[in-house]
Structure 1
Amino acid sequence: MHWNSLADFLAMGNHGVYVWGSLAVMALLMLAEPILLLQGRKKLVSRLKRQYRAERTEARRSSASPRRSPD
């Protein structure tokens, strides 16, 4: 396709709204995906750390408490 001016290029044969809109949505999604992945990873790591601390605390409590023998 041959464009005579920048306005013709931006208009894309009267399809510019769709072309540039699609490009903008794609660029937004490509920027958002890694950000969302990093946020999800941070949440997962913090949840696993909390779970590990809770399990470790529970293990210490159960080993420190005296067990009674059945009467």
Structure 2
Amino acid sequence: MNWNSASEFLAMGGYGLYVWGSYAVTALIMAAEPWLAARRRRRALIEAMHAAESESSS
């Protein structure tokens, strides 16, 4: 495909909304995954510490 302007490139022959929307959703998911994984890890470590404390006090 040949585009004569940046606006034609962004429009992607009428499919720009779907193409750029897909890129945006993918980028959002890729950015959110490490943050969510770190949050789950932190929560698991806290739960493990609480479980160890309750075992040692029993």
Q: TM-score, structure 1 length as denominator?
A: 0.80
Q: What is aligned with 1:27?
A: 27
Deviation for aligned residue 1:56: 0.5
Deviation for aligned residue 1:48: 0.2
* Greater percentage in helix: 2
**Residue 51 of structure 2 corresponds to residue 51 of structure 1:** yes
Q: Deviating runs (4+, > 4 A) in structure 1? A: none
Alpha-carbon distance in 2 for matches of 1:11, 1:47: 49
Task: Supply the AA of the counterpart residue of 2:31.
Answer: L
How many residue pairs get aligned? The number is 58
* Runs of 5+ consecutive residues of structure 2 not aligned to the other structure: none
- The sequence identity of aligned pairs, in percent, is 45
1:5-20 to structure 2, matched below 5 A, reads 5-20=5-20
Alpha-carbon distance in 2 for matches of 1:46, 1:7: 51
